[in-house]
Amino acid sequence: MSDFQKLVVAAGLQPEWQDAAGRRQTVSDEALRTILDHLGHPSASAKQIAESLAVIAVRTARAPRFLSVDVGDPIQLATTLFGKAELTLENGTRTSVAIDQGALKPIEHTGYHRLEVGDHVIDLLVASRRCFTIADAVPGRKVWAPAVQIPSLRSETAKAFGDFGTLAETARAFGERGADALAISPTHALFPADASRYSPYAPSSRQFLNGLYADPSAFAGTSDDPTPDLIDWQSAIPAKLARLRKTFDQDARQLGETLDVFRREGGDDLERHAEFDALHAHFFATTGARGWQQWPVEYHDPVSPAVRRFVTEHAEDVTFYVFLQWLARRDLDAAQTVANDAGMTIGLIADLAVGMDPGGSHGWSRRGDLLTGLSIGAPPDPLGPDGQSWGITGFDPQALRDNAFAPFIATIRAALAHAGGIRIDHAFGLRRLWVVPEGASAAEGAYLDMPFDDLMRIVAMESQRAKAIVIGEDLGTVPDGFREAMDARGMLGMRVLWFERDADGFVPPAKWAPDAVAMTGTHDLATIAGWWSGRDIDWTWDLGRKSDAIDEPADRAARADDRAALWSAFDTGAKQPLPDDTDPVVDAAIAHVAGTPCALAIIPIEDMAGLIEQPNLPGTIDEHPNWRRRLPDTTEALIQRPAVAARIDALNTARPA
Residue 611's alpha-carbon distances to 225, 517, 533, 534, 631, in angstroms, are 25, 22, 11, 13, 9
pLDDT value at position 545?
87
For 529-588, write each residue's pLDDT tens digit.
Answer: 999 999 999 999 999 988 889 999 999 999 999 999 999 999 999 999 999 999 999 999
For 411-450, write each residue's pLDDT tens digit.
Answer: 999 999 999 999 999 999 999 999 999 988 888 899 999 9
Instruction: Identify whether the C-beta of residue 471 lies closer than 8 Å to the C-beta of residue 423.
Output: yes
Instruction: Identify whether the C-beta of residue 172 lies closer than 8 Å to the C-beta of residue 342.
Output: yes
Q: Is 532 helix (H, G, I), strand (E, B) or coil?
A: helix
Dmax (CA) for the chain in angstroms is 76
For 293-320, write each residue's pLDDT tens digit.
Answer: 999 999 999 999 999 999 999 999 999 9
Instruction: Identify whether the C-beta of residue 336 lies closer than 8 Å to the C-beta of residue 305.
Output: no
For 222-240, write each residue's pLDDT tens digit.
Answer: 556 667 899 999 999 999 9
Residue 220 has pLDDT above 80, yes or no: no
Has this prediction a pTM greater than 0.85? yes
pLDDT value at position 387?
78
pLDDT value at position 217?
84
142 phi and psi angles, rounded to 5 deg: -95, 150
Looking at the chain, the number of H-run helices and the number of E-run strands are 22, 26
pLDDT value at position 546?
82
Q: Rounded CA gap, 63 and 75, in Å?
A: 13
Q: Rounded CA gap, 203 and 392, in Å?
A: 9
Average pLDDT value over all residues in the chain: 94
Q: Is 649 helix (H, G, I), strand (E, B) or coil?
A: helix
What residue ranges define each of the domains in the chain, with the CATH number in brackets? 3-61 (no CATH), 72-127 (no CATH), 134-654 (3.20.20.80)
Contacts of 546 (CB under 8 A, 6+ apart): 385, 386
Would you give the DSSP letter of residue 618? Answer: T
Per-residue H/E/C for 370-430: ECCCEEEEECCECCECCCEEEEEECECHHHHHHCCCHHHHHHHHHHHCCCCEEEECCHHHH
pLDDT value at position 368?
96
